[in-house]
Amino acid sequence: MTEIPRKAVQRTAKLASLPLGVAGRVVGGWGKRLTGRAADEVNAEVTAKTAEQVFAVLGQLKGGAMKFGQALSVFEAAVPDELAAPYREALTKLQTAAPPMPARTTHRVLAEQLGASWTKRFKEFDDSPAASASIGQVHSAVWHDGRDVAVKVQYPGADEALRADLKQLLRFSRLLQAIMPGTDVRPLLEELRDRYLEELDYRDEAANQRAFAKAFENDEHVLVPRVVASSPKVMVTEWTSGVGLSHIIREGSVPDRDLAGQRLAEFHFSAPSRSGLLHADPHPGNFMLGDDGRLRVIDFGAVARLPDGLPKTLGLMTRLALDGRSADLVELLRTENFIREGMSLHGEDVLGYLAPFVEPLRTESFHFTRRWLQSQAERVGDLRSPDSQTGRSLNLPPQYLLIHRVTLGATGILCQLDAHVTAREIVARWQPGFDD
């Protein structure tokens, strides 16, 4: 494999194999039940094989297909364990791994982007990728001045593949809805499409990373590697290392889980005020915990631009819900277009719907667990429940969609970490409007 399959027809055929494969396994499962095998055993086998196929297809395609798989991986914490477990390992693989491109292809891209004498810019360059992701892979190297660096090289054809994937994935939103029940997948896909198209020019990502690095320079809790060089399809940054959050999620100690969760929450809420940007790609593969206790943050291709920090309206809403001021809350929601036009809502119903979401702010330290997140997903996803009916009367204005998705993604990671976090203290310090 020298590059990503570019043609839409090729990629569509591979993506189409997902629903076809699922259907085939379901039919096969019925046959096995007829021969006397237990339903639970057959269902477990079908789900496990489906998870394997999801990883194989999305990982091979890379591009938008793989990026969406990475986005899904942080939401599995909201799904009941019996449904999520088979997908957990498969989706987690997508955070850090994908089939690499050959060295000759890597060299060709480096020559195109850094010049024919690109090798003179490095003292050493490892042809084996240290990490592979959705639209590029990362190599370790030594810059000409002796600094250890990470070199991100974009896959040839990534631009065409990304556009083709995002177009086709919108058509498969129902399948993806089945993989991720309780999540409104299509708006998420549409929002991801817009953000991911911004990632194709690494010069934009380099500018984002420089802004974050400056904002967090010499910070005691967060380290952002500095950018060394950049071009449209190659970016060189200082090398950083640590224990990936994926590893901590799987087998980390309680202190490491709590520390990683605390640092992640601090970074998420403080970055907009400090840098005017929100890191908009929250999955464990983009974060590491160093020996010094600082959170390493990488991959700044997707960001939300918030020059005034997080919107004050969100802080006001959170405070009103926390204080139980239902009438004021409804008035604010209606003024800011969070209530669908023509809908009549009772204040207590709105408060009942939102109150559990602000539960982490009621105590000095909150324990984020999968079970807590699952209970929230079940509560708002049950079409028969009053909370679900209230939720369908509410609206999320477009300017808040990305912030909502990133906050939900970060919360998903906290729940995967099973972390204790001083959420109230962090929100009070960094969320405008909360303490007004």
pLDDT computed for residue 236 by the predictor: 98
Residue ranges in 94-230 assigned as alpha helix (H):
103-114, 158-171, 173-179, 185-197, 202-215
Do residues 2 and 102 touch, judged by C-beta distance below 8 A? yes
C-alpha distances (whole Å) from 52 to each of 17, 61, 241 are 13, 14, 29
Contact 285, 246 (CB under 8 A): yes
Name the packing angle between helices 423-430 and 254-275 (round to 10°).
Answer: 10
Q: Distance between CA atoms of 406 and 306, rounded to whole angstroms?
A: 13
Report the Cα 19 to chain-centroid distance in Å: 23
Q: What is residue 297's three-state secondary structure?
A: strand
- Residue 147, judged by CB atoms within 10 A of its CB (0-12, 13-18, 19+), counts as middle
Cα separation, 297 vs 268, in Å, equals: 11
**CB-CB contact of 202 with 230 (8 Å):** yes
CB neighbourhood size of 51 (10 A): 19
CB 356 within 8 A of CB 376: yes
pLDDT at 29: 33
What is the signed CA dihedral for 74, 80, 84, 88, rounded to 10 degrees? Answer: 50
The amino acid sitting at 54 is V
pLDDT of residue 168: 66
Question: What pLDDT is recorded for position 267?
Answer: 98
Phi, psi of 80 (to 5 degrees): -50, 140
The residues facing 142 across adjacent strands are 124, 148
Angle between helices 81-93 and 63-73 (to 10 degrees): 130
pLDDT of 46: 40
pLDDT of residue 156: 85
Which among 237, 297, 301, 310 has a CA at the least distance from the CA of 267? 297
Task: For tokens 């969406």, name the residue.
Answer: 68
Q: Which pLDDT score, from 0 to 100, does residue 26 have?
A: 31
Q: What are phi and psi of 366, to 5 degrees?
A: -115, 140
Amino acid at 61: L
Tens place of pLDDT per residue across the chain (436 aa): 445 454 444 544 554 444 434 333 333 332 333 333 344 433 444 444 544 555 555 545 555 555 555 555 555 555 555 555 555 555 555 545 556 788 999 999 999 999 999 999 999 999 999 987 667 899 999 999 999 999 999 988 877 767 776 676 666 566 555 544 444 567 766 766 777 777 889 999 999 999 999 999 999 999 999 999 999 999 999 999 999 999 999 999 999 999 999 999 999 999 999 999 999 988 888 999 999 999 999 999 889 999 999 999 999 999 999 999 999 999 999 999 888 888 888 889 898 888 888 999 999 999 999 989 888 877 776 667 787 778 778 887 878 888 988 898 899 999 999 999 999 999 999 999 998 7
Distance separating alpha carbons of residues 426 and 420, to the nearest angstrom: 13
Exposed, middle or buried: residue 364 (CB in 10 Å: 0-12, 13-18, 19+)? exposed
Q: What is the spatial order of strands in the sheet that 222-223 belongs to?
A: 222-223, 295-297, 287-289, 243-244
As a whole number of Å, the end-to-end CA separation of the chain is 57
pLDDT at 345: 85
CA atoms within 13 A on the CB side of 309: 17
Residue 436 is predicted with a pLDDT of: 74
Handedness of CA 250, 255, 261, 264 (dihedral sign): negative
Cα distance between residue 253 and residue 23, in whole Å: 40
What radius of gyration do the chain's Cα atoms show? Answer: 22
Spacing of C-alpha 432 from chain mean position: 24
Give pLDDT, residue 19.
40
28: helix, strand or coil: helix
Of 431, 409, 433, the closest CA to residue 180 belongs to 409
**How many Cα neighbours within 13 Å face the side chain of 397?**
13
CA 52 to chain centre: 20
What pLDDT does residue 243 have? 97
User: Which two structure tokens, joined as six digits, stand for 53?
Assistant: 């196929």
The alpha-helical segments, DSSP class H, found in 276-346 are 312-323, 326-335
Nearest alpha-carbon partner for 54 in 87, 95, 10: 87
